[in-house]
Amino acid sequence: MAIDETEIARRMDLFAKACRESGAKRTHQRMEIFREVAQSGDHPDVETVHRRVRKRMPTVSLDTVYRTLWWLKELGLVNTLGPPRERTRFDANLSDHHHFMCTHCGVTWDFNSDALNHLSIAETVQSIGSMETMHLEVKGICHNCTVDKSSPT
Amino acid sequence: MAIDETEIARRMDLFAKACRESGAKRTHQRMEIFREVAQSGDHPDVETVHRRVRKRMPTVSLDTVYRTLWWLKELGLVNTLGPPRERTRFDANLSDHHHFMCTHCGVTWDFNSDALNHLSIAETVQSIGSMETMHLEVKGICHNCTVDKSSPT
DNA sequence: TTTAATGCAAAAGATTTGCAACATG
DNA sequence: CATGTTGCAAATCTTTTGCATTAAA
């Protein structure tokens, strides 16, 4: 699950470039925090990143890790798993379905895809484990938002 | 986005059945909380459910809504969007990829699927809006867990 | 030297828990 | 009536913020 050295180097280059282009300072903390995520294959949460970075840089504070990770996400250098800065939401629709989430107004719409259901994803992932469920999350701009740029309630 | 009356009734029946079979009490609060999720097409979060249920039942407390929603999830009557009871996690892998999450040990593995990438999901969702990104989340049991039932670190 | 970024501590926000009162089966 | 469930209030846990200090460019 460790990332290849060449790939880590490539990611660090991307980071340097993004700092230069955005005019942000390349501080020790930011480098170590990004390096930690860049070399982890295991999608760590904020606290895990903090714990690991502290081994090399014992004074780094938790709030800097929070600030830095969200800043990296803004720069497009990292992505988040799950809904970023959103609470868990509940759904009583138990049928097979997928979600389209509007990045503008936040509304989530259900949709179905026979084509996807017929794809044998179970076979694709059989080297990892046995599949129980699958769920496609699509992000984009919904028509309510493209048409009149106002958010529905 | 409102759910069809027949479908709501069907869901309320499922609820009644699950209570009977699990020996749980069918209290007013539980009925109203489940009804609220069952009739909402918009995937509300805990606080939204609480706010809406309070209109009909002003004394219901927020902690009951929390307890009830997670209990409904345990019974399999509702699902959660996003990582249930988990914090946001970060990923520096910017290439197109998908995730397999082990429901036993919690580890998330990356995988690719050309077949999925070649599916024209953008067309499937064009009646909803314009797609920007898509991400498949597969859940199941990974081999580390099926083989020896111990969780890797 | 100028400005942005950090660390600290406190605040704010979200979620959970213990327990007495209450409602359901 | 016995037991599981609720509401309240407090506790806990997570995340954010204000501000003086520090470090990059």
Residue A24: give its domain's CATH number.
1.10.10.10
B46 touches strand C (CB under 7 A): yes
Residue A60 shares a structural domain with residue A30:
yes
Does B95 contact A at CB distance below 8 Å? no
Whether A120 and A73 share a structural domain: no
Q: Which of A151, A149, A113 is nearest to B136 (CA)?
A: A113
If one counts the domains in chain B, the total is: 2
Residues of A with Cβ-Cβ distance to B44 under 8 angstroms: 89-90
Alpha-carbon gap, residue A39 to A132, rounded angstroms = 29
Nucleotides of C under 7 A from a protein CB: 4-10, 14-18, 23-25
Residues B56 and B81 in one domain: yes
Q: Do A129 and B140 touch (CB under 8 A)?
A: yes
pLDDT per 10-residue tile (average), chain A, 153 residues: 92 98 97 97 96 97 98 96 86 94 91 91 95 94 79 44
Three-class secondary structure of residue A45 per DSSP: strand
- pLDDT recorded at residue B73: 96
Q: What's the pLDDT score for residue B106? A: 87
**Is the domain of A84 the same as that of A106?**
no
Contact B89, A43 (CB under 8 A): yes
Query: Which strand D bases fall within 7 angstroms of a protein CB?
Result: 4-10, 14-18, 23-25
**DSSP calls for chain B:** -PPPHHHHHHHHHHHHHHHHHHT----HHHHHHHHHHHH-SS--BHHHHHHHHHHH-TT--HHHHHHHHHHHHHHTS-EEES-TT---EEE---SS-EEEEETTT--EEEE--HHHHHS-HHHHTTTTEEEEEEEEEEEEEEHHHHHHS----
Asked if B90 is an interface residue toward chain A (Cβ–Cβ < 8 A), one would say yes
The H or E element that residue A129 is part of is strand A129-142
Domain boundary among A91, A115, A139: A91
User: Protein A62 CA to nucleic acid D16 C1', in Å?
Assistant: 11
pLDDT at B112 over 60: yes
Q: Which of B91, B107, B122 is the last residue of a domain?
A: B91
Residue B150 has pLDDT above 90, yes or no: no
CA distance B79 to chain A (A): 5
Pick the range with the lowest mean pLDDT from A42-51, B79-88, B99-108: B79-88
Q: Checking DSSP bridges between strand B98-102 and strand B108-111, what pairing results, if any? A: antiparallel
The rounded distance, in Å, linking the Cα atoms of A55 and A34 is 15
B18 beta carbon to strand C: under 7 Å? no
Q: Do A111 and A65 fall within a single domain?
A: no
Residue-wise pLDDT for A19-63, tens only, equals 999 999 999 999 999 999 999 989 999 999 999 999 999 999 999
On whether both B116 and B73 belong to a single domain, the answer is no
A36: left (phi over 0), alpha (psi -120 to 50) or beta: alpha
Tally C-beta pairs within 8 A across A and B: 232
Q: Say yes or no: B87 and B133 in one domain.
A: no
Is the domain of B25 the same as that of B79? yes
Do residue A81 and residue A9 come from a single domain?
A: yes
* Residue in A85, A108, A129 closest to B102 by CB: A129
The pLDDT assigned to A64 comes to 98
Tell whether A84 lies on the interface with B, counting CB pairs under 8 A.
yes
B24 plus B46 within the same structural domain: yes
Per-residue confidence (pLDDT) for residue A149, from 0 to 100: 53
Same domain, B81 and B104: no
Minimal Cα–Cα distance from A8 to chain B, Å? Answer: 10
A25 beta carbon to strand D: under 7 Å: yes
Q: DSSP string of A61-109?
A: -HHHHHHHHHHHHHHTS-EEES-TT---EEE---SS-EEEEETTT--EE
Domain edge (last residue) among B53, B76, B91: B91
B76: nearest CA partner in chain A: A94
**Distance between CA atoms of A13 and B51, rounded to whole angstroms?**
48
Q: What is the pLDDT of residue B151?
A: 45
Is the same domain home to A78 and A33?
yes
Decide: B142 and B105 in contact? Cβ < 8 Å: yes
| pTM to 2 decimal places | 0.91
Mean pLDDT value across residues B60-66: 98
Q: What is the mean pLDDT of residues B54-60?
A: 97
CATH code of residue A139: 3.30.1490.190
User: Which amino acid type is present at position A80?
Assistant: T
Mean confidence (pLDDT) of chain B:
92
Question: Which among B93, B111, B130 is the nearest to A128, CB-wise?
Answer: B111
Partners of B134 in beta bridges: A138
In this structure, what is the dihedral angle of CA atoms A90, A129, B108, A116, given to the nearest 10 degrees? -50
Range of the structural domain that residue B82 is part of = 5-91
Which tokens in the block code for residue A41?
A: 């294959």
